[in-house]
């Protein structure tokens, strides 16, 4: 008899529906979902959910776990642990590591590290450069989540700016091409005028003026134009401005869209007004912008112009973040608190739990054609999360799991928390304790 776990009395949130019921896990998979299921054997582990939400494990399609090469900031082991505590059971990691993940060989090295240390399911993106088209075409589409292009420079010097190369990549690569969009020339020009005005002491509040709306719109509209011209399958990462919302439609179901869109937790939570209190801790690329931009992102998310929510988890050390504006790196850690933050927005009436599940579980699975994950369905991997909607906690140095040891949410009290995380049918996390066994798997794709 395979190992069984029976989760009883849950509010099961799945496919735009919430149902009170039970879920039976057998070995790695969901064996049954029903209003009432009885244990078939005395060996079955029974977990009483006591009315908590049971949702599919979150799939975060944009994280930076810094391995190899930048392990003073984070490791796959440390950040996958934080992800699991936050209900993220699968992640897709970015290529701006050291060495950069721009060859199939470097990609396989990362898979090797993850297979030995990740406690969450994993995949990676292969990075494009001005001269690695052969690698992008060589990679087996079934083995990797997709391709990442930095169309604006950010951490890691991975700018792809040669128009001829870009056209070739967009025309020939069949995988989903995910892009970071900020127009380099516009950012440069804005930075130069700020340096002329302030010298090295540029106030952090100028960040959204330097990495401006214009910079974002110019770059994302250009990428979309090129995708339309070439037929590329384009996914635009971390949108941050109201103006960019003009570029996306909501008429087609996600499966049919050739151009898809994403917003990140920090752009939904913070606004320009927070630079005063948070300083460089909320310095991200693209920048956190005005509260009007934030409102437009929420609207586009709810009306399905935006398809996916991700974190862009990008840890840097506390010391690195203490530098002045020009020297402090952009990025901050988010995987542990993303779901609590979204639940907080749910309590404020901004988003339903069903919509959170659509944008963080179902849609990344559909968009990247991930095999048997992202839904609570019979025969799917049992990646599941129990969320207690009313169990407040305050983010502080003692409960932060990131290797960098800080969070932009420090001092924030969240009403809801993750109590259990199941990975491939295994209880990976339960009431603040992690299992010693690892059950994580490499993500596979239906391509
Ligand atoms: O703020 C950011 N930090 N944006 C990125 O695109 C990269 C990331 C990082 O890796 O630090």
Residues labelled catalytic: 312
Q: Is the distance from the beta carbon of residue 208 to the nearest atom of ligand 1 less than 6 Å?
A: no
State residue 18 phi and psi, 5-degree precision.
-125, 125
Tens digit of each residue's pLDDT (9 = 90 or more) over 90-108: 999 999 999 999 999 999 9
**Which position has the higher pLDDT, 155 or 337?**
337
**d(C-alpha 373, C-alpha 444), whole Å:** 10
Backbone CA torsion sign across 41, 43, 47, 48 = positive
- For ligand 1, atom 7, which residue shows the shortest CA distance? 155
Task: Find out whether the beta carbon of 155 lies less than 6 Å from any atom of ligand 1.
Answer: yes
Q: What share of the chain is helix, strand, coil (3-state, %, to 5)?
A: 35, 25, 45
Q: Which residue has the tokens 């069984």?
A: 4
Closest atom of ligand 1 to 283 CA is: 1
Q: Residue 126 belongs to what domain range?
A: 57-367
Whether 14 is in the pocket of ligand 1, judged by its Cβ within 6 Å, is no
87 Cα: distance to centroid of ligand 1 (angstroms): 22
Question: What is residue 114's predicted lDDT score, i.e. its pLDDT?
Answer: 98
CATH code, domain with 423: 2.30.40.10
pLDDT per residue over 390-447, tens digit each?
A: 999 999 999 999 999 999 999 999 999 999 999 999 999 999 999 999 999 999 999 9
Closest by alpha carbon to 440, among 113, 189, 53, 216?
113
Q: Which two tokens stand for residue 151?
A: 């169309």
CATH label of the domain that carries residue 197 = 3.20.20.140
Sequence-ordered strand ranges (E) for 188-245: 234-236
Per-residue pLDDT band at 26 (split at 50, 70, 90): very high
Q: Residues near 76 by Cβ (< 8 Å), separated by ≥ 6?
A: 65, 67, 93, 113, 114, 117, 118, 122
pLDDT of residue 157: 83
Shared domain for 44 and 72, answered yes or no, is: no
| Residue whose structure tokens are 């752009």 | 267
pTM above 0.95, yes or no: yes
Q: How much distance in Å is there from the Cα of 356 to the middle of ligand 1?
A: 24
400 in any annotated domain? no
- Token pair 């209190």: residue: 277
Q: Mind listing the pLDDT tens digit for each residue in 409-421?
A: 999 999 999 999 9
Whether residues 188 and 281 share a domain: the answer is yes
Tell me whether residue 442 is in a domain: no
User: Could you tell me the CA-to-CA distances from 179 to 61, 77, 216, 419 in Å, in that order?
Assistant: 12, 26, 12, 34
User: Are 235 and 272 in a shared domain?
Assistant: yes
Residues 48 and 151 in one domain: no
* Mean of pLDDT over the chain: 97
Ligand 1 contact via 241 beta carbon (within 6 Å): no
Helix (H) or strand (E) holding 262: strand 259-264
| Structural domain includes residue 30 | yes
pLDDT for 152 equals 83
Average pLDDT over residues 35-49: 96
What proportion of the chain, given as a percentage, has pLDDT over 90? Answer: 97
Centroid of ligand 1 to alpha carbon of 25 (angstroms): 37
Residue 314 Cβ < 6 Å to ligand 1: yes
- Whether 1 has a pLDDT exceeding 80, the answer reads no
291-346 pLDDT, tens digit each:
999 999 999 999 999 999 999 999 999 999 999 999 999 999 999 999 999 999 99
**Domain assignment present for 154:** yes
Q: Are residues 289 and 150 in the same domain?
A: yes
Tell me how many domains the chain contains: 2
- pLDDT beyond 90 at 2: no
Report whether 211 contacts 238 (CB < 8 A). Answer: no
Residues 170 and 26 in one domain: no
pLDDT digits (tens, 9 = 90+) for 177-231: 999 999 999 999 999 999 999 998 999 999 999 999 999 999 999 999 999 999 9
Which two three-digit tokens encode residue 64?
A: 């930076």
In 3D space, the residue among 418, 422, 417 whose CA is nearest the CA of residue 441 turns out to be 422
Residue 277 within any structural domain of the chain: yes
The answer to whether residues 137 and 179 belong to one domain is: yes
Average pLDDT over residues 38-66: 97
- CA–CA separation, 251 and 447 (whole Å): 24
Task: Clarify whether residues 241 and 195 are in a common domain.
Answer: yes
**pLDDT over 90 (residue 153):** no
Which residue, among 306, 307, 287, 286, has the nearest Cα to 296 in the 3D structure? 306
Q: Would you say residue 34 lies in a domain?
A: yes
- How large is the average pLDDT for residues 219-248? 98
- Claim to verify: residue 36 and residue 123 sit in the same structural domain: no
Can you tell me which atom of ligand 1 is nearest the CA of 64?
10
Cα–Cα distance list, 269 to 82, 121, 159, 293, 340 (Å): 20, 26, 28, 11, 12
| One domain, residues 77 and 185 | yes
Q: Flag whether 77 is in a domain.
A: yes
Does some domain include residue 212? yes
Shared-domain flag, residues 49 and 63:
no
**178 and 108 share a domain?**
yes
Q: Report the pLDDT value the prediction gives residue 155, as an integer from 0 to 100.
A: 81
């Amino acid at each position: 008899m395979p190992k069984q776990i029976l989760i009883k009395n849950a509010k099961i949130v799945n496919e735009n529906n919430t149902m009170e019921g039970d879920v039976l896990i057998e070995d790695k998979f969901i064996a049954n979902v029903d209003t009432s299921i009885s244990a078939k054997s005395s060996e079955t582990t029974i977990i009483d959910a006591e009315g908590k939400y049971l949702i599919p494990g979150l799939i975060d399609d944009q994280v930076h776990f810094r391995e190899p090469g930048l392990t003073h900031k984070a490791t796959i082991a440390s950040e996958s642990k934080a992800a699991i505590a936050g209900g993220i059971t699968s992640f897709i990691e970015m290529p701006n590591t050291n060495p950069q993940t721009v060859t199939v060989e470097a990609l396989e090295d990362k898979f090797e590290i993850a297979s030995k240390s990740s406690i969450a399911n994993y995949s990676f993106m292969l990075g494009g450069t001005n001269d690695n088209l052969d690698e992008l075409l060589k990679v087996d589409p079934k083995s990797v989540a997709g391709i990442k292009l930095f169309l604006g420079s950010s951490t890691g010097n991975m700018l792809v700016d040669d128009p001829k190369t870009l056209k070739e990549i967009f025309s020939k690569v069949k995988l989903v091409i995910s892009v970071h969009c900020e127009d380099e020339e516009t950012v440069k020009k804005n930075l130069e005028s700020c340096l002329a005005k302030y010298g090295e002491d540029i106030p952090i509040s100028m960040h959204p003026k330097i990495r401006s709306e214009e910079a974002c719109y110019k770059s994302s509209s250009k990428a979309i134009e090129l995708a339309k011209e070439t037929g590329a399958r384009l996914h635009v990462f971390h949108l941050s401005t109201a103006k960019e919302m003009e570029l996306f439609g909501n008429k087609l179901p996600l499966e049919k869209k050739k151009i898809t869109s994403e917003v990140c937790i920090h752009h939904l939570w913070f606004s320009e007004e927070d630079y005063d209190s948070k300083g460089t801790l909320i310095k991200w690329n693209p920048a956190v912008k005005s509260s009007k931009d934030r409102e437009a992102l929420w609207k586009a998310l709810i009306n399905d112009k935006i398809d996916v929510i991700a974190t862009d988890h990008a840890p840097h050390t506390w010391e690195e973040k203490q530098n002045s504006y020009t020297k402090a790196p952009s990025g901050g850690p988010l995987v542990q608190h993303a779901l609590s933050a979204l639940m907080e927005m749910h309590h404020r009436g901004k988003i339903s739990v069903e919509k959170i599940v659509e944008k963080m579980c179902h849609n990344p699975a559909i968009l990247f054609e991930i095999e048997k994950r992202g839904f609570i369905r019979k025969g799917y991997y049992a990646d599941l999360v129990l969320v207690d909607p009313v169990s407040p906690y305050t983010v502080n140095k003692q409960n932060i799991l990131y290797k960098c040891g800080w969070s932009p949410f420090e001092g924030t009290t969240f009403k809801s928390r993750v109590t259990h995380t199941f990975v491939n049918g295994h209880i990976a996390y339960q009431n603040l304790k992690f299992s010693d066994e690892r059950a994580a798997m490499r993500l596979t794709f239906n391509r």
